[in-house]
Amino acid sequence: MIPIILDMDPGIDDAVALSIALSNPSIDIKLLTSVAGNVGVDKTTNNLLKLTTFFHQTQIPVAKGAAAPLKKDFSDAAYIHGESGMPGYDFPQVTKEAIKLDAVTAMAEELEAAIVPMTIVATGSYTNIAMLIQKYPSLLHKIEKFVLMGGSLSGGNVSSVAEFNVFTDPDAADIVFKSGVPIVMIGLDVTLKALLPFETIDAIGSQGEAGEMLQKVMTAYGDTAEGGKPMHDVNTICYLLNPEFYTVKDYWVDIIVSGPAAGATIADTQNRWSEGRLNAQVAVDIDTTAFEKWFVEQVPKMNQYRKEGN
């Protein structure tokens, strides 16, 4: 099993990613942490609790994280994800609360107790992770790598150059990319290719309770491309389990933190200023057929997992 800390801002594509992770026997989620992003942090925290309840995984601790970026004003994406962040499905009553520790403290305690280095997967802004790096630098050796949904080498989705997660808190992203911890950056270069066709989404709805839930929340998702819907955050979990689906290249990546290009992720693809240094493996292509097939195969696994009452 792959031990991970999962830092999220659900958000519909986060919810789909978490649904797969919660019901996959190869992934051991040690801690779930929330951050403000797609909607405010109270809502993202509640959405984590909804999903752990739905999948009978209430033993996984959920810790509430940052309510705002490090420096800039917070602006959500409720126009894409709905006011609650997970509209479209009537989730069961939440049966637990977030733990009393804040996300950064909870992350630090989990890392300190870890026997082997852990992977931190982040599908929202990187505010919690940046605060962890700043407050607990002595624990960085306990982090095997960051797997980040975010960034783009080919243009943005909230500006001409910036992807949402990095744009939300570019100062945090700058800290993370300069941390020295190995990074896998899974950005728009691949997530906009990893579309789920509309007919596939419709078909999932008839595949048990998990399929019905996924179909309803994905249908409510405002992010639509020609031919389907991009499940951006799902790619982090897919990469953990199937790295062979992705083509990655090693680059030095800088973060623009202010001005009209704020949130841009600039890779030194021509080795002009990085002097041979590398700080990220950047996903630049994906086997889209394999991704869709893998995704569809997860739905019956989710239903079986819920049926067995895990």
pLDDT digits (tens, 9 = 90+) for 15-47: 999 999 999 999 999 999 999 999 999 999 999
Percent of the chain with pLDDT over 70: 98
The continuous run of DSSP H or E covering 19 comes out as helix 12-22
Q: Kindly tell me if the per-residue pLDDT of 307 is higher than 70.
A: no
What is the end-to-end Cα distance of the chain in Å, rounded? 16
* Residue 294 confidence class, pLDDT cut points 50, 70, 90: very high
Q: How far apart are CA 218 and CA 76, in angstroms?
A: 19
What is the pLDDT at residue 158? 95
Mean of the pLDDT values across residues 275-297? Answer: 96
Query: Measured between alpha carbons, how far is residue 261 from residues 63, 170, 177 in Å?
Result: 32, 10, 17
Q: How far apart are CA 251 and CA 303, in angstroms?
A: 40
> Taking the model in full, what pTM does it have?
0.96
- Report which of 39, 40, 49 is spatially closest to residue 12, judged by C-alpha positions: 39
* Residue 310 confidence class, pLDDT cut points 50, 70, 90: low
> Do the Cβ atoms of 146 and 182 come closer than 8 Å?
yes
The set of catalytic residues is 232
- Report which of 132, 204, 146, 138 is spatially closest to residue 177, judged by C-alpha positions: 146
Cis peptide before 211, with omega less than 30 degrees from 0?
A: no
Q: Kindly tell me if the per-residue pLDDT of 203 is higher than 70.
A: yes
Residue 20's CB: how many other CB atoms inside 10 A?
A: 25
> Do the Cβ atoms of 118 and 144 come closer than 8 Å?
yes
- Report which of 11, 7, 9 is spatially closest to residue 86, judged by C-alpha positions: 11
Q: What are phi and psi of 120, to 5 degrees?
A: -105, 120
Q: Kindly tell me if the per-residue pLDDT of 309 is higher than 60.
A: no
* Residue 212 confidence class, pLDDT cut points 50, 70, 90: very high
